Amino acid sequence: MYSVGEYIVHPGQGVCRVEGVAENPIEVYQLLPIGQRHPMRISYPVANEDKLRPILSHDEALEIIEQYPTMTMDGFEAKSNALEEEHFKQEIRRGSCRDSVRIVKTFRHRIAQTKARNKKPPVVYERILKQASQRSLEELSVALEMPIDDVRMLFERYDDEGVLNN
């Protein structure tokens, strides 16, 4: 069971802080999503807590950032953008922070490749990139106890070839 004040990852809402545990005929967590303009407290059944997961530790977060340049990209491709979007949305919802970072890297690469061919990337690519980026940056921000912009700067220290920029 999670404790009040602890941060967890909700499959649909992302990083949330446990605000309390209440008894409505069943025991539920009172969760407050972070990183939203107008967060609303949500109730989540304690019986389904196996779908929640704790956020990364500080060391795990640093490890993901350090491994970003050598991280493999996701090779999943479908015959339609809608199928790809559904696949990656599910992976973002159910996967780890590392999975979301891998998806960010994949779609940054796909968008860059498309632009290099003087084509406009599909809107779905931008949508997946935004969702994966938001999910991973929120979790890394809480784990590292720093603002999202500072976490983004840690990633930007590496150029596209994975070489550390000074």
Which pTM does this prediction carry?
A: 0.89
- Same domain for 14 and 68? no
Cα gap 124→7, rounded to integer Å: 30
- Same domain for 44 and 75? no
Closest residue by Cα to residue 144 from 3, 7, 2, 30:
7
Mention every residue, 6+ apart, whose C-beta is less than 8 A from residue 59: none
Residue-number span of the structural domain to which 133 is assigned: 58-156
Is 16 among the domain residues? yes
Does residue 7 contact residue 30 with C-beta atoms inside 8 Å? no
Give the mean model confidence (pLDDT) for residues 24-43: 88
What's the pLDDT score for residue 160? 47
What's the pLDDT score for residue 158? 62
- Same domain for 87 and 50? no
What's the pLDDT score for residue 77? 87
Is 21 among the domain residues? yes
